[in-house]
Structure 1
Amino acid sequence: MMPVLRTRPFRVAVATAAGLVACALGFFAWQSFYPVQASDGWGVQVLHDSVDKAASLLPERDGSLLVSRELNSGRGSILRITAGGDRVVVVDGLSKPDGMVAVAGGWAFSQEVGGAPVSVSRNGQVRMLFQGNNVQGLFNDGDYLYAIEDRKGDGRLLRYDWRTAQLDVLRQGLSETEGLTRCIDGRLLYTEKANGKVRAYNPEGTDPVVVDGLNNPTFLFCDQRGLWISEDSTHRARLLRIAGDGSRHTVLSFLKAPQAIVADGQGGYLVAEGGRDRVLRLTPSTPVDVATLSPRE
């Protein structure tokens, strides 16, 4: 009888441990595969799938969509998906291409690795603009191209003058700064990912916090609906909208590492969900006047 008494607790312990492991695995699987949820007033659907590490998005006038695929070690690229669904790589051999914005006659893009340039593509030709270190976010206002570096403690906020090609350092000593945009009140905003904050660049002093309490905020976008923030979190990430009165609205939940959000030109938005290798379309339930939603620069 004694061996049986000694074995029974061992079997119970093993069964309990196995049950805990199974529950943990089930929980993580649930987080990974649970479908994205849209809040009331919004609908979401998959627009393009099988887009490896989708990061930045840039809709073109002919209905095509440029998507940066944030792969490392020269495996990254910028992909054009035509209105008909055809896919063509337009720039390859990149390392973690991340930020991408429209510029006069083409588009500019960054690479989030040390020593990689910020470049411009025009008429199929790529030209380096300036050197950076782990540049992620870009914002273009026509006169200047702003760029921000995602580094730990020595990141910089940069401003490139299109007319003179002069590069100015507006801020240095930044840590894990990723997203960059200008909002309707004229402020230039950027994210601090690890701190869960969005700050406003203040040329005359300390950059104030305008939003905090976020979970790994990354890309930013601003229009008449407010400030949009995607959370670069592996599980249960959100797409948030900060309205003009400061109220917070969770528009999408259960995302996996979402990246850029851009207007689709039809009153809705496109969201790169890098963790699931796809591009989502977010549409409002009530039609709106598209002209009122243009980003304000």
Structure 2
Amino acid sequence: MPTFLRKPITRIVLTATTGLVMATLGFFAWQSFYPVQAASGWQVEVAHRNVDKAASLLPQADGSLLVSQELDDGRGSILKIAPDGEREVLVDQLSKPDGMVAARGGWVFSQEGGLAPVSLAVDGQVTPLFDGIAVQGLWNEGNHLYAIEDRKGDGRLLRYDWRSGQVDVLRSGLTEAEGLTRCGDGRLLYTEKADGQIRALSKDGKDPVVFDSLRNPTFLFCDQRGLWISEDNTHRARLLRIKPDGTRQTVLSFLKAPQSIVADGSGGYWLAEGGRDRVLHLTPPSKQPAAASD
């Protein structure tokens, strides 16, 4: 090739490469910073910022909000945010604190960072209940506390008896089982994230798939409006609602690693968006009563 042609070709290649790199960086920046979009009629706003890896949420009777900060290697903690915004660390030196649920006059929390105890916190005192490996989802009812492990192929669904302290393994061999909730129809549901499925615990042990074709479903929450599902995706994640009639609605889109969703006690919802270190507040269509499906 003549020398006088090499420089223009090299310049073209460099220009094209630079353009491709800039376009790629721009695309990822767009995914990271594109604002969250709400379905028609719904409103979303940022309630609390700078909450490191916000994961699980637990509203308190005094109007405050407990948030687990899912940091690893003993850097995790459980934070209390008062109605006026004042913050207090209630428990620290945790490894990926994840699930939280009200129980026995206090609350139970799990840790997803390897072998760690599921613990009960009451009046500032923390009591280990039993050990699990990468425990995420929790559900408490009556005399039993359920816990599920987020492991690849060897996860377990556990049931702790408050009276005897006995732990039963209800299921084993689960893959990335993260969310756990009981719905109004009596079904105890859990997720297997990698398969994009939600299963219902059944007496025959077969646990049928009740919802599938989901994208990395993680936390679950059931109420009168249906089943809420957050997607644990780094980019372009969604908050989904499966209405009582079985239809699906994308309530929020362009989220970044959303985690727990809970009712705020006033007809709205809190949502932890761990990928952006914040807690969102979601308000339903104002013309709809709290108990209605829309």
TM-score by length of 2: 0.97
1:169 aligned residue: 169
- Bigger drift between 18-27 and 161-170 goes to 161-170
Q: 1:289 to 1:141 in 2, by over 3 A?
A: farther
Whether the aligned pair in 1 keeps the contact of 2:108 and 2:118 (CA below 8 Å) is yes
Task: Find out whether 1:260 has 2:260 as its counterpart.
Answer: yes
Q: Which secondary structure state, in structure 2, belongs to the residue aligned with residue 181 of structure 1? A: strand
1:182 aligned residue: 182
RMSD (CA atoms)? 1.2
CA apart distance, 1:185: 0.9
Whether the aligned pair in 2 keeps the contact of 1:267 and 1:287 (CA below 8 Å) is no
Question: Deviation per CA, 1:262-292, whole angstroms, max 9, x where unpaired?
Answer: 00000010000000000000001225555x4
Whether the aligned pair in 1 keeps the contact of 2:118 and 2:128 (CA below 8 Å) is yes
Q: Which secondary structure state, in structure 2, belongs to the residue aligned with residue 153 of structure 1? A: strand
1:204 aligned residue: 204
1:51 aligned residue: 51
1:121 aligned residue: 121
Q: Which secondary structure state, in structure 1, belongs to the residue aligned with residue 261 of structure 2? A: strand
CA apart distance, 1:142: 2.5
Aligned residue runs from structure 1 range 272-287, under 5 A: 272-286=272-286
Equivalent residues, number = 292
Q: Which secondary structure state, in structure 2, belongs to the residue aligned with residue 8 of structure 1? A: helix
Q: Which secondary structure state, in structure 2, belongs to the residue aligned with residue 74 of structure 1? A: coil
Q: 1:130 to 1:65 in 2, by over 3 A?
A: same
Question: Deviation per CA, 1:18-42, whole angstroms, max 9, x where unpaired?
Answer: 1111001000000000000000120
Q: 2: distance between equivalents of 1:191 and 1:233?
A: 15
Whether the aligned pair in 2 keeps the contact of 1:103 and 1:142 (CA below 8 Å) is no
Unaligned 5+ runs, structure 1: none
Unaligned 5+ runs, structure 2: none
Whether the aligned pair in 1 keeps the contact of 2:136 and 2:150 (CA below 8 Å) is yes
Q: 2: distance between equivalents of 1:133 and 1:101?
A: 18
CA apart distance, 1:163: 1.6
Whether the aligned pair in 1 keeps the contact of 2:73 and 2:113 (CA below 8 Å) is no
Q: Which secondary structure state, in structure 1, belongs to the residue aligned with residue 195 of structure 2? A: coil
Letter in 2 for 1:208: P
Whether the aligned pair in 2 keeps the contact of 1:136 and 1:179 (CA below 8 Å) is yes
Question: Deviation per CA, 1:48-83, whole angstroms, max 9, x where unpaired?
Answer: 000000000000000000000000000000000011
CA apart distance, 1:7: 2.0
CA apart distance, 1:233: 0.3
Aligned residue runs from structure 1 range 153-168, under 5 A: 153-168=153-168
Q: 2: distance between equivalents of 1:184 and 1:9?
A: 67
Q: Which secondary structure state, in structure 2, belongs to the residue aligned with residue 154 of structure 1? A: strand
Q: 2: distance between equivalents of 1:205 and 1:180?
A: 17
1:150 aligned residue: 150
1:271 aligned residue: 271
- Bigger drift between 163-172 and 90-99 goes to 163-172
Q: 1: distance between equivalents of 2:242 and 2:4?
A: 63
Q: Which secondary structure state, in structure 1, belongs to the residue aligned with residue 178 of structure 2? A: strand
CA apart distance, 1:141: 1.3
Question: Percent of counterpart pairs with the same letter?
Answer: 69
Task: Find out whether 1:240 has 2:240 as its counterpart.
Answer: yes
Question: Deviation per CA, 1:237-286, whole angstroms, max 9, x where unpaired?
Answer: 00000011211100000000000000000001000000000000000122
Letter in 1 for 2:151: R
Letter in 2 for 1:25: L
1:37 aligned residue: 37
Letter in 1 for 2:150: D
Q: 2: distance between equivalents of 1:4 and 1:264?
A: 70
Task: Find out whether 1:77 has 2:77 as its counterpart.
Answer: yes
Q: Which secondary structure state, in structure 2, belongs to the residue aligned with residue 173 of structure 1? A: strand
Letter in 2 for 1:70: E
Q: Which secondary structure state, in structure 1, belongs to the residue aligned with residue 179 of structure 2? A: strand
Q: 1: distance between equivalents of 2:146 and 2:287?
A: 33
Q: 2: distance between equivalents of 1:95 and 1:289?
A: 40
Q: 1: distance between equivalents of 2:143 and 2:35?
A: 41
